[in-house]
Amino acid sequence: MQNKQGFKSVTELIEDFKNGEMKFNEKLEKTNFYFIDQIANGMQKGQLVVLGGRTGTGKTALALNIIDNIAINTNDDNGIFLYFSLEMTNAELVNRLMSKNMHAPISSIYQWRYKLRTKQLSPEQENEFSKLLEKCRRGNLWIIDETYNLEQIVQVIKNFVNQNIKINGICIDHLQILRTEIKSKSKYDQIAHITQILKEEAKKLNINIFLLSQLSRESAKNKKQEPDLYDLRESGTIEQDSDVVFLIYNNGENENGERFLNVKIAKNRNGKSGDVFPLLFMPRINKFLEPIGKDLNGNN
């Protein structure tokens, strides 16, 4: 019998499980990334997910691909996904999203827009360009490029909740430039406070919070070395509070300037960890391919 505080004994929990009354966290919607949807068991909601990498490895591009795919695979009724960008403007991020979904370099998109505004496109070309733009619309993906601190981000979340606007997930780019109002000279203490609060928010709202993080300077000096959890800056608290950690690192490039990347599942609280998965990153169109030659939206 449940007591007044809402606590339950193990016996009661076993009965809930037997009767189908036990609540399990929902799984994250499909990301179209094999290493997340299959190997990492799709990740359960209510988790703090860290995506770590050295500067310039493509953390933001990978995060955008993951989150945009989630937005594509969910209905607006499932809630909105908030992307807090502390480093790039919303215009820069939208350009990347258009490049990904239109399979075109950003420079080409700007040329099409210029020709559209100066009436240099034929009706057929204008119609085709409009169709491509429609593919990029996401009513359930919101980009916030204000340089908020932690407390302001939490307040923004509360404001949405108070307005009965459902939140389906959050991404913050990135941890090392996220400030907090706590009075501490120690960067370690500040990071510890941030990851603890974000972990609490993820659990309370039953959502995934994706947190981008840089690797340490020592790790950056040895670019060929496969990174590990201790390579995350202020790694102790990040390792402790995170549920899942993906580490992305370079593994060469081809003659077209496309980069071979590896993604390591460094931590996975509810699934397998330690595996490394290759990706091909095409910076010109901000898109990732699987080694088998299919893109991560299932197209040949």
Contacts of 243 (CB under 8 A, 6+ apart): 43, 47, 48, 49, 199, 267, 268, 269, 270
Angle at which helices 123-134 and 90-102 pack, to 10 degrees? 110
Asked, as a colleague might, if the bond just before 174 is cis with ω within 30 of 0, I would say yes
* Pairwise CA distance, residues 137 & 132, whole Å: 10
Average predicted confidence (pLDDT) for the chain: 86
Higher pLDDT, 288 or 223: 288
For residue 191, is pLDDT > 90? yes
Domain boundaries, the chain: 25-289
Q: Which whole-number Å values give the CA distances from 12 to 5, 6, 19, 21, 25, in the listed order?
A: 14, 12, 11, 11, 19
The CA distance from 227 to 276, in Å, is 11
Instruction: State pLDDT tens for residues 209-221.
Output: 999 999 987 776 6
The DSSP line for 184-240 is -S-HHHHHHHHHHHHHHHHHHHT-EEEEEEEBPHHHHH-TTSPP-GGGBTTHHHHHH
Largest CA distance in the chain: 74
Check residue 4 and give its pLDDT.
46
The pair of three-digit structure tokens given for residue 173, joined into one six-digit string: 């780019």
C-alpha angle 292/293/296, rounded to 5°? 95
Q: Does residue 2 carry a pLDDT above 80?
A: no
Residue 141 and residue 298: Cα distance in Å, rounded? 21
Q: Topology of 25-289 in CATH? A: Rossmann fold (3.40.50)
Sign of the CA dihedral with 253 first, then 254, 257, and 261 last:
negative
Task: Express each pLDDT in 227-267 by its tens digit.
Answer: 999 898 777 789 899 999 999 999 888 988 899 999 999 99
Average pLDDT on 49-69 reads 94
